[in-house]
Structure 1
């Protein structure tokens, strides 16, 4: 496996409420995490950091994940715990009330990837069959698009584009989506916050991922492009490539 991850404050925000990381369990399996926090002053940073740190803690203590079913179970069990911790912390700290975070995370093995997500941070996969989005935004505008009330083009500029219907930590009970797909040699996985996808089109994502640039350069180019187009939001991403002949990139 090769991987890289990056987070950038962007050009407008005065602080970064995203957290991103790639972690290894006891069997050296990979967990990639992107969390985009939201809430009052600095509270979004608290929520996204709690989600990332707790997932890391649970993962590095974990033995080998033996199957996709075990991976999905691990996500559901631990994301529910994390949701409860964030919710309780917000209730105990008035300055953090209402805080929450999106989450897109993936357990990556040499045969499959299992993704868990809540909110509008996204997962994409690039295979020999093409490039596609794996996650479905839990947002108001996406529901309006799916119900036929507005077009995808209208959604791009909708005044309530940032309204989420689900997030981690905002309610005591949470529902997350999980998905498992095959991960063949040469396939690439991209996890990212909406600071990237609100600025960089799917075609632009594909062009950079397919380019001859190395992984570090691809990550830097994606963030540069989002900033070049305005950079109004924090920008975070993780790229994992199933390359059995290469070592790790990043740390």
Structure 2
């Protein structure tokens, strides 16, 4: 497994409210991307607490479940713990009241990945020629698309596109979504904040990931392209590629 990560302030913002991490434990990998909520106080604090909480819990865990359904519960419980830390911090610090963050996590166990998220940071899977968005945005415009009130094309330019229906840290109890997916050698998983997906269409993301280059080179190019297209927001991308040389029956991570 080859991993790459880059986070960038962008061309307009004065500071970076995104945070991310890739954490390993023997053959297991946990990847996390968090995007502090723009327009709220201390979004950068919220995203940093979220990633740090996930890393600490990861390091303290003696075991990780081996079944997809158990991994989904396990990951949602860790996200709830991260939520509690952000919520409690905001209550204890007046300057942080109202802060929040998105979060998207991917837990690799070898033959499958469990993805959990809250908000509109996304996870994509490139598997052979299929490019699939594994997460569904917790946003107002996505609800409008889901109910048929607007089209996906209209959603791209909707004035309330950035309004979230779920976030980490804004409420005491949360409801993250979690799903598990089988993996094959050569698959690529992209976790990213909306600073990337708002600036690069899915078709172009797919083409850039299919390029014959190393994951870090791809991540660097993704960030550069988002900046070339405006870079109005912070931009974060984590890319994980499963080695092609893995043999059938072997652990592909």
1:236 is the counterpart of 2:228: no
What is the alpha-carbon distance in structure 2 between the residues aligned to residue 129 and residue 47 of structure 1? 36
* Secondary structure of the structure 2 residue equivalent to 1:87: helix
> What is the aligned residue count?
245
Residue 188 of structure 2: aligned partner: 188
**Secondary structure of 1:243 counterpart:** coil
Report the CA distance between 1:147 and its aligned residue.
1.0
CA deviation vs aligned residue, 1:65-97 (integer Å, no higher than 9, x gap) = 222223212112111111111111111111111
Instruction: Identify the residue that residue 79 of structure 1 maps to in structure 2.
Output: 79
Residue 163 of structure 1 and its aligned partner are, at CA, apart by 0.3
8 Å CA contact 1:138, 1:165 repeated in 2: yes
Structure 1 ranges of 4+ moved more than 3 A: 39-42
The alpha-carbon distance between structure 1 residues 202 and 178, as it changes in their structure 2 partners (threshold 3 A), is same
- Matched ranges for 1:167-182 at <5 A: 167-182=167-182
- TM-score under structure 2 normalisation? 0.93
1:222 has 2:227 as partner: no
**Mind listing any 5+ residue stretches in structure 2 that lack a counterpart?**
247-253
5+ residue gaps in structure 1? 247-251
| Pairing 1:16-27 to 2, within 5 Å after superposition | 16-25=16-25, 27=26
2:60 aligned with 1:61: yes
Kindly report which structure 2 residues correspond to 1:192-211, keeping only aligned pairs within 5 A, or say none.
192-211=192-211
TM-score (ref. length: structure 1):
0.94
Deviations 1:149-181 (A, max 9, x none): 111111111111110000000001100000100
Shifted more, 57-66 versus 43-52: the winner is 57-66
